[in-house]
Structure 1
Amino acid sequence: MLKRVSVIGLLAVISLGCQSQGQIAGNQNKNQSAEISTPKITNGTLKSYKEVITSEAKSDEGLFTTHFVGDKLYFEIPLNLLEKDMLLVSRIAKVPSGFGGGYVNAGSKVNEQVVRWTKRGQSVDMKIISFENQSDEESPIYQSVVANNFFPILYSTKISAYNRDSTAVVVEVNSLFENDIDAINGISPALKKRYKVKKLDSNRSYIESANSFPKNVEVKHVMTYEAEEPPERGQAGTISLLMNQSMVLLPEDMMQPRLADYRVGWFTTKKYDYDSEELKSDDYEIIRRWRLEPKDVEAYKRGELVEPVKPIVYYLDPATPEKWRPYFKKGIEDWNVAFEKAGFKNAIIAKDPPSKEEDPEFSPEDVRYSVVRYVASTTRNATGPSVTDPRTGEIIGSSIIWYHNHLRSYRNRFMIEAGAQNPDARTLNTPEAEIGEMMRMVIAHEVGHALGLPHNMKASSAYPTDSLRSAEFTQKYGLTPSIMDYARVNYVAQPEDKNVRFIRMMGPYDLYSINWGYRYLPGATSMKDEKKTLDKWIAEKAGDPIYEFGGGYDRVDPQSQRESLGADQVKASEYGLANLKKVVPNLMEWTAKDGYGYDDLDELYGELTNLWRGYITHVITNVGGVYETRKTSDQEGVIYTSVPKSTQKDAVNFLNTHAFTTPQWLLNHELLDRIESGGAIERVQNLQTRSLNALLDEDRLKRMVSNEQVNATQAYTPLEMMEDLRKGIFSELYAGRSADAYRRNLQRSYVDAAAQYVKKVKEDANDAVLKTDIIALMRGEMERLKRDINRQKNRTNDNLTRYHWNDLVARIDVGLDLDS
């Protein structure tokens, strides 16, 4: 049988925020280690073992035996581990206050890469290996793949000695951990620039500890940098980090990869097969998942629930407050329902942190332990990163990060979006049952990422909007078919709706995706053998929106958006806005604390304004929007469909009514006079101008132009949209009324936006928009508006409004005059 070999150069992966990262994968060349011969030691060439590893050495046996001799660290590397694939995971174990703006914390992973220790004469090199490009050893093209994917050397050191029976090399590795090596340090180039880092101070950088275990080596080392502008002034021109390097031996008995399919959402690893019969390299992706295999395969085949050989175990951080631990555990073990759909019971287990007596080696930084980290930080976020074997996509470890102040995020959202409907939300001290349930679902969401699942922003559009007002429906099905959607609080429910569910929960899509990715297929001996079954499962759910996937990051599909709820975004935003109007008059009462100021009121009001902007954005996406239904070539129907004309017109009508009119409900001066001396006009101007610019986005207008050419009779054309928008934004002009300051600002923004397009003719002759109808449309709109103003401007008795109309005419003249 031909042996598969995969090669490429360096891959550095960084993980920050609520996001996860892709890896590359392939297979290991297991034969190479057999070629290493026992050394012949010549007197005088190398020192003896006892000369290097003296009686004062502090040693720890494991994968490598580590030796501290004074302040020098030696690795004793068995020869049979040379050329073996190991995963080097770099994490920050301790971090200074304010580092990375609060999004880099103790436990943050900064890099992971596969390395191999190799012998070269009297030296040992550590090479960075990757597995993206593939070829069979005996294939002719193999030589070219090897020649064009040379492995870089990350680190090199001289052999100090061999052990007593010459079965291992002894090398000093201080310079690996005490020098500023980009591939393993904790400060990215961007942060070095931000903090004006000058250099690593070798006198204040040192190895703190080294521990060896059967399959991994853990090294902690302090890195101290001189910096002109450290995160906080009190840090005296210094940034010190405690780094943890985990070196893990990857299994030779590799998990069978599973081919990805873009119709089901998974984090993936891309690969290129140069032995493909296609007239190009065969590129494909494999999913990232834990290795779950049934203890009793025969019982599993019979359809019985079977425990996995090795369950997924998450430990709670010792720093986790006792009162929150039950909610964290529930959030982790909620996924057992999904794994049961895949045929496994007790597949995922949550445990309290072990005591020193129970497990003296336990460390949250040890990659052998998957831990839910509780971070004492003002950052308001949570993340779910994982560590993956890039050869097969096997997840081998994970650290869920919960930042303490994320509690504040959910308290605020609950008050703003549910305060009108739910009395429990009308306090800064959210009852434990509600805040605990929110924490539980956040942890479940992040564990979903660590199981391999990305965001599925399309899920929320599967449910009819009005169903979210039903107690029976929401208690049974939740707010969305997937916990991996951003659908945090039920803002659709109205005050008259009783006993509805307000907090998201796991749904049918989650069970479906876990079954698709984790169900064990004992009869399949390769990825291709599995594909027919996997495709069949997708085909069985085709056409049902509950089982559709969409990432929601291109801002084109209105059914695939962050924070949106329900199939009808216009209706959902109307419901959400109706609730906000009821909340604003009550915010002072709900946030008041005797003896304290109005900081909480200021914070809640600002977040409420941002949520209003979010509702507006959900509606804007419908204009020029395109629905995406992921399909393969064997399925009937198209993938992309333009949003119906009626829906787009409804969206613009909503914007004219709710976004571009003066929001008197928001301008509550009893409230504003307690939090600011001024600024309401500027705040509303910024919000309305951003919404207008988003509506007039170039890509949106291009899609509308294109759709008009394809569906001339059914398309909502850019001209119709501009006419509807003009009549709404300039309604005072056509009605002969005065315009207030907020509307005058918006009307100026409208003219400025149109003028910016026309100016492109002069400023950038190569701009692609010049080849479209957009310039003509904007020029025509300004000319039309100018005529209308000149005809209508004297109908008002308000002098300032007449000055404003004259000013707009002057602005239009400047915008149309390309010679000035």
Structure 2
Amino acid sequence: MTATHISCSGSKVPQQLQTEVTNEVAKTENNEKPKPAARSGIRNYGDVITKEAISDEGLFTIHKVGDKYYYEIPDSLLQRDFLWISRFANLPSGLGNGYVNAGSSVNEQMVVWQKFENKIVLKTKSYNAFAADSLPISLSVQANNYQPTLYAFDIAALSKDSAGFVIDVTKFLTSDIKAFSGLDAEMRKNYKVSKLDESRSFIYSAKSFPLNLEVKQDFTYDAAEPPSNSATGSISLMMNQSMVLLPKVPMQPRLNDYRVGYFNIRQIDYGSEALKADEKSYIRRWRLEPKDVEAYKRGELVEPVKPIVYYLDPATPVKLRPYIKAGVEQWNKAFETAGFKNAILAKDPPSPAEDPDFNPEDVRYSVIRYVASTTRNAVGPSVSDPRSGEIIESDIIWYHNHLRSYRNRYLLETGAANPNARTLDTPLDDLGEMMLEVITHEVGHALGLPHNMKASAAYPTDSLRSGKFTQEYGIAATIMDYARYHYVAQPGDKNIRFVRQLGPYDHYAINWGYRFLPDAKSAEAEVPTLSKWINEKSANPIYQFGSGSGGYDPESQTEGIGADVIKSSTYGLANLKKVAPKLYDWTASKTNDYDDLDELYGELLGVWSRYIGHVVTNVGGVHENRLKPDQAGFIYTPVAARTQAASLDWLLKNAFTSPEWLNQTNISRNIHHASYVENIRSLQVRHLNNLLSPDRMARLMENEVNNVNYNALDMVRQLQRGIWSEVYSGAKIDIYRRNLQKAYLDRMHHLLNEEPPRSRSSYGTPVEISQSDIRSIVWGELVKLQRQLKSAQSRYANDLSRYHVDDALVRIDKILNPVKS
């Protein structure tokens, strides 16, 4: 709060909402103004809100009197629906193991303010269970879904005009209320949090805007094991509590269809005519309505009544602003497919003279925030109405260091074929293009679109080597895939686009979610048209959606491009083998420093690992094609047997052989005294254990009933013979292979003798190991390996290979005959 009276009465509010708020404040819900009365505890207004009060007018008027905070709530806003969002404003390093950042949402809930006798009550309100008020069953829904009371306030005074109530919110805003806290139960347990230290906790600021309240709380907790600054025994964080007034009349929702990717909200409709409660899902989207409905019907491009507007953060570097604005407005191409022109706009931050009321915390303004942080990330969150899915507001967050990640991957993944990438000083136009596309991706999230990981498999791998194709269609069918760079193109390929771009799926999805259907007066009435659009394009892979969850569909993976993952990874690996010998020349030799070389070499190992992981998914893989019963085909189809076998053969040659090409002496001897062998072991073992995971073996076992001629036994036999190929040939076993073979035995011990979590793996593929074929296969193949090792002993001299074989035999004996404690 500032030290002067702050008034929002002159704020520029959208006319419709301004009128709504003005009309609502002018009357009460029951057309009766509360009458002043000499009730116990209710004081005169002037005795509570004294002349010393610092007041901020807006949705509620916030008063600060000394060290106390008061809300003055218009009677007309009782029983209205509000959305309450709790976010981290500032937090200590390491909180949540680094998976949460400033701006991360902790909780979203709908709330309502109610009057009960001499109290104002704040309650949660849920639309998860729903029935129209006109239906008798709505009474039962209310009775059987009674919502918690979050807080009860004594009425301190009536408003001057008796059209509202004053409550003291000081204790409420300085208390550790679980519904609004940033520390969940797991964090409190992990960090051994005992209590909120009220002596070190306070209200940092409280602001009122025409449609929202924003409060920041500076909280310190006593914690025996905090994530950082352990000597303090404390966790300090700043929480931002936002309360947003929702429209009095919700937008007409659009029913979700899982064949098109949209974030969604879920409701259980007890008023359905079905013989059970009907679960409904509505997509999250902005309210876009054409100014001229008749022109829109004629197929003309029409501006929306209220466009989507993003303002740039005043802290944004001037040289980057054109790229950010272009990234936002690139979506206009897709909105034109949906019949709208100028649907989304990006604007520079207004000066105080242009808009004295501009404030990024005001829900009327969506802002692309430029955050001074070493975090390498960007996020596109949004706030939506839980009743209809209408997106109310969105703040895109760009972290300052994020471009460093893109520069590194640009160099590593495209450097073999792209001269512009072979430097630490990436040209500004290239960096700007990367930033533009990242912003477009994050705005896509804020428009309601989740990741579509299936889109990167829509294009044939060899088509990606065509400059004409990539310039027109990009490297994936959507900007919403994690297909950031073109690693397939080879040296000599001409006119290649190396960075992702908006694709045909984006036009399709925006049209499906945002096209205005004026003749459909309900969500249900829209369904025939929406389904028709999907069915018309269902056979084309460009328009398919896959979330990438589950880890079983090789066509729906992160960071991949091209339909043939074996061919794509082969191309990618060939490029990486050209980049590795040049890495020193492109970094340390130019900077006279090894820091960038160390960082990039570590990321190069990650890129290699990623290409391997793409091929691993083929083994035990299952293609998912989202279909409805009126469409031909199956949703789940196992990967062809020959493809699974070929994938494992590729892995044995490219992942599990000794990767001498990675041992660049001018790198490994300059960045660490001894880490190369261990780095290779760690990466190889990760993929070995992934292949021999219970969930993958369960899918391979199921191939037997799906008439796929490649099962878990085939996979283990092929893998074991490849991993132990030296034992069959008599070749010397080098250090990488010795490490890998020991890891193989450790994994077999794990599968045979350890008890993993019952029934389901982390991927959700059901398997009960002790009652499946997994242990039978492991036992049988280990016995075979034991015999082979014994026969090979005599072929090895008294060296490390012989010692390794002897050790392996002892290990296998202990695995097959464990000592019971």
Alignment TM-score > 0.5, same fold: yes
Contact 1:762-1:818 within 8 A present in 2 as well: no
Deviation at 1:786, TM superposition (A): 1.6
Kindly indicate whether residue 468 of structure 2 is the aligned counterpart of residue 472 of structure 1: yes
**2:772 maps to 1:772:** yes
Cα 1:101–1:399 shift into 2, 3 Å = farther
Q: Is the 8 A contact 2:334 2:511 kept in 1?
A: yes
Q: Displacement of 1:542 after TM fit? A: 1.1
Pairing 1:143-292 to 2, within 5 Å after superposition = 143-193=139-189, 195-227=191-223, 232-233=228-229, 236=232, 239-292=235-288
Structure 2 vs 1, CA of residues 533 and 625 (structure 1 numbering), >3 Å: closer, same or farther?
A: same
Measure, in 2, the Cα distance between the counterparts of 1:417 and 1:43. Answer: 74
Aligned pairs for 1:594-609 (under 5 A) are 596-609=592-605
Please point out which of 114, 117, 124 is paired with 1:121.
117
Residues 193-217 of structure 1 show CA distances to partners (whole Å, capped at 9, x for unaligned) of 5555443333343334433333223
Structure-1 residue corresponding to 2:17: none
Query: Partner of 2:435 in structure 1?
Result: 439
Counterpart check, 1:758 vs 2:756: no
Deviation per residue, 1:734-763 (Å, 9 max, x gap): 112111011111122222222322225899
Q: Is the 8 A contact 1:378 1:404 kept in 2?
A: yes
Deviates more, 1:526-535 or 1:714-723: 714-723
Deviations 1:617-663 (A, max 9, x none): 10010011010110001111111111011111110110110011000
Whether the 8 Å contact between 2:123 and 2:148 is mirrored in structure 1 is: yes
User: Take 2:180 and 2:381, find their aligned partners in 1: how far apart are those partners?
Assistant: 17
Partner-residue secondary structure (3-state), 2:715: helix
Q: Percent of aligned pairs with the same residue? A: 56
Q: Tell me the distance in 2 between the aligned counterparts of 1:216 and 1:819.
A: 66
Contact 2:460–2:563 (Cα < 8 Å) also in 1 = yes
1:273-672 matched pairs, under 5 angstroms: 273-592=269-588, 596-672=592-668
Residue 733, structure 1, aligned to residue 727, structure 2: yes
For 2:757 and 2:700, the matched residues in 1 are separated by 25
Shifted more, 36-45 versus 446-455: the winner is 36-45
Question: Please, which runs of 5 or more residues in structure 2 have no aligned partner?
Answer: 1-26, 761-766
Query: More deviation in 666-675 or 197-206?
Result: 197-206
> Which amino acid in 2 is paired with 1:772?
S
**Residue by residue, what CA displacement relative to the aligned partner does 1:501-528 show, whole Å, maximum 9, x if unpaired?**
1100010001100100000000000011
Q: Give the distance between the partners of 1:226 and 1:807, measured in 2 at CA.
A: 51
Q: Closer, same or farther in 2 for the Cα pair 1:56/1:303, shift >3 Å?
A: same
1:68-96 deviations in whole A, cap 9, x for unaligned? Answer: 22222221111111111111223344455
1:50 pairs with 42, 46, 49, which one?
46
Question: For 1:708, what is the secondary structure of its paired residue?
Answer: coil
Question: C-alpha displacement at 1:607, in angstroms?
Answer: 0.8
In 1, the alpha carbon distance for the partners of 2:373 and 2:422 equals: 26
Rate the CA distance shift 1:121–1:640 in 2: closer, same or farther, 3 A: same
Quote how far apart the aligned CAs of 1:793 are.
3.2
- 1:230 CA displacement: 5.2
CA distance in structure 1 between the aligned counterparts of 2:285 and 2:173, rounded to whole angstroms = 31
Change (3 A) 1:231 1:690: closer
2:65 to 40, 48, 69: 69
* Amino acid paired to 1:378: T
Task: Name the SS of the counterpart of 1:127 in structure 2.
Answer: strand
Quick check: 2:702–2:711 contact (8 Å CA) kept in 1?
Answer: no
> How far is the alpha carbon of 1:363 from its aligned partner?
2.4
CA distance in 1, matches of 2:102, 2:753: 50
| In 1: Cα distance, 2:224 partner to 2:807 partner | 49
Amino acid at match of 1:757: L
Q: What is the CA-CA distance between 1:123 and the residue it aligns to?
A: 0.7
How many aligned residue pairs are there?
788
| 2:795 matches 1:795 | yes
Residues 246 and 366, structure 1, Cα contact 8 Å, conserved in 2: no
Cα distance in 2 for residues equivalent to 1:267 and 1:764: 31
Range with bigger deviation, 222-231 or 618-627: 222-231
Q: Closer, same or farther in 2 for the Cα pair 1:422/1:346, shift >3 Å?
A: same
Alignment-derived partner of residue 21 in structure 1: none
Structure 1: any 5+ residue segments left out of the alignment? 1-30
Q: State whether structure 2 residue 687 is matched by structure 1 residue 691.
A: yes
Q: Following TM superposition, by how much is the alpha carbon of 1:579 offset from its aligned partner in structure 2, in angstroms? A: 0.8
By relative contact order (CA 8 Å, sep 6+), the higher-ranking structure is: 1
- How many Å separate the matches in 2 of 1:717 and 1:675? 43
Higher mean alpha-carbon deviation, 381-390 vs 586-595, is at 586-595
Contact 2:41 2:154 (8 Å CA) reproduced = no
Provide the C-alpha distance between the structure 2 equivalents of 1:627 and 1:216, rounded to a whole number of angstroms: 46
> Which one-letter code corresponds to 1:554 in the other structure?
G
Residue 9 of structure 1 corresponds to none
Mapped to 2, the partners of 1:42 and 1:79 lie a distance apart of 19
Q: Which moved more, 1:455-464 or 1:403-412?
A: 403-412
Do the aligned residues in 1 keep the contact of 2:209 with 2:362 (CA within 8 Å)? no
Structure 2 CA distance, aligned partners of 1:339 and 1:68?
Answer: 45
C-alpha separation in 1, matches of 2:165 and 2:623: 60
Q: Please say if residues 103 and 379 of structure 1, whose CA atoms lie closer than 8 Å, have aligned partners that are also in contact.
A: no
- Does the residue aligned with 1:673 lie in a helix, a strand or coil? helix
**Residue of structure 2 equivalent to 1:80:** 76
Q: Matched residues in 1 for 2:129 and 2:738: separation? A: 59
RMSD of aligned Cα (Å): 2.4
- Is the 1:105–1:375 contact (alpha carbons within 8 Å) kept by the matching residues of 2? no
TM-score (norm 2): 0.92
Measured against aligned partners, the alpha-carbon deviations of 1:749-779 in whole angstroms (never above 9, x if no partner) come to 2222223222258999998112222211111
Deviations 1:764-809 (A, max 9, x none): 9998112222211111111111222222332344632222222222
- Tell me, what secondary structure is at the counterpart of 1:709? coil
The one-letter amino acid paired with 1:361 is D
Q: Which amino acid aligns with 1:326?
A: P
Q: Is the 8 A contact 2:723 2:740 kept in 1?
A: yes
Letter aligned with residue 400 of structure 1: I
What is the aligned counterpart of 1:703 among 699, 704, 728?
699
Please tell me whether the aligned partners of residues 36 and 79 of structure 1 are also in contact (alpha carbons under 8 angstroms).
no
Q: Distance in 2 between matches of 1:776 and 1:103?
A: 40
Aligned with 1:479: secondary structure?
A: coil
**Could you give the per-residue CA deviations for residues 712-731 of structure 1, whole angstroms, max 9, x where no partner exists?**
xx421222222222222122
Letter aligned with residue 394 of structure 2: S
Query: Cα distance 1:708–1:200, how it changes in 2: closer, same or farther (>3 A)?
Result: same
**In 2: Cα distance, 1:443 partner to 1:610 partner:** 24
Distance 2:96 2:349 in 1: 28
Separation in 2, partners of 1:288, 1:763: 36
Task: Kindly provide the amino acid, as one letter, of the partner of residue 533 in structure 1.
Answer: T
Query: Which amino acid letter does the alignment assign opposite residue 721 of structure 1?
Result: M
Q: Give how far 1:404 is off.
A: 1.1
Give the AA of the match of 2:816. L
Are 1:816 and 2:816 matched, yes or no?
Answer: yes
Aligned-pair CA distance for 1:291: 0.5
Partner SS for 2:413: helix
Cα offset for 1:112? 2.3
Q: Is contact 2:33–2:163 with CA below 8 Å preserved after alignment?
A: no
TM-score scaled by length of structure 1: 0.92
The CA distance in 2 between the partners of 1:804 and 1:469, in whole Å, is 45
- Evaluate the alpha carbon distance shift between residue 57 and residue 453 of structure 1 in structure 2; reply closer, same or farther with a 3 A threshold: same
Corresponding residue for residue 738 of structure 2? 744
- Given that residues 206 and 214 in structure 2 are in contact (C-alpha distance below 8 angstroms), is that contact kept between their aligned partners in structure 1? yes
